[in-house]
A and B are shown apart, each in its own frame.
Chain A
């Protein structure tokens, strides 16, 4: 009798814990983190591309051209980064 009662109490407790666990996985705050992560991923690649273009321009003396091409290459790299992080999250 006492054993039976304990089992039902255990079941109830387990159910409550599993409910809490499912609630934690889709909370709003981590979505904000994801959004911020994506945006910095995009901006950083564009920044790096532009900086590389600027440095190469100074080296080779081809003033506006390399910075322009590397800017767009950076944009492509940024979009690629965002797609990759999105794919990682869906796993």
Chain B
């Protein structure tokens, strides 16, 4: 039923079932909302950059502000060497932000509340950053796992610890985004259910909670997209400017 707080996370098929061997690649509501967010990003940014006025319109201001926001973020964390990766970080931030924000609309599906989506994003970043590190530094990139000034006796243990800490990056990145989105949306649904079941007499308190939670959720949606992007920049910085 609709009162089940986990019901909103159901993935269901839209249209016919498409199968390649054993793999089900049918079009689902998750794919629909990913496409909606991509199209809305394209629309907004095409509109914002179509007329280049000196005094910007509101939509032009929005695009210019988001450009400077990300470019400043890359400059602060990864330095001037991070400039070539602007396009990647920008599209990543915008995709996560729009998925989170579209999930705030009533009856919408939150794509980022599924761990497989966030994990694929994080794994893509992780593999990309590792490849960039090996291209830039060759096998010298492995020095990342050997901190300087460690006694030789402790070295094997330290290397194992460093490798585990490096491998934990995509997990912490994906779990953080997924857990935040899922916990917030479940909580909103639970309080919404209280409003219905307590009726007109007792429903006002959970209703006010629901309103406050909606505000908090919008903030979390932005904050998590920001954290996702800034951590990508930090990992890029580790790969580009090796210092140990």
Q: Which residues of A contact B (CB under 8 A)?
A: 29-30, 33, 36-37, 40-41, 43-45, 47-49, 52, 70, 73-74, 76-78, 80-81, 88
Contact = CB atoms under 8 A, between A and B. Distances in A.
The interface residues of chain A, by DSSP majority, are classed as: helix
B121 interface: no
B22 interface: no
Contact of B167 (A29, A30, A48, A76): A48
Given A36-B180, A37-B176, A40-B179, A76 B161 contact: yes
Contacts of A70: 164
B146 interface: no
Contact of B168 (A36, A37, A81, A88): A81
A47 B168 contact: yes
Interface in B25-46: none
B179 A81 contact: no
Interface residues of B, number: 20
**Which one of A44, A52, A70 has the greatest number of beta carbons of chain B within 10 Å?**
A44
Given A40-B179, A73-B157, A45 B168 contact: yes
**Which one of B164, B224, B227 has the greatest number of beta carbons of chain A within 10 Å?**
B164
B164 A52 contact: yes
Contacts of B223: 29-30, 33
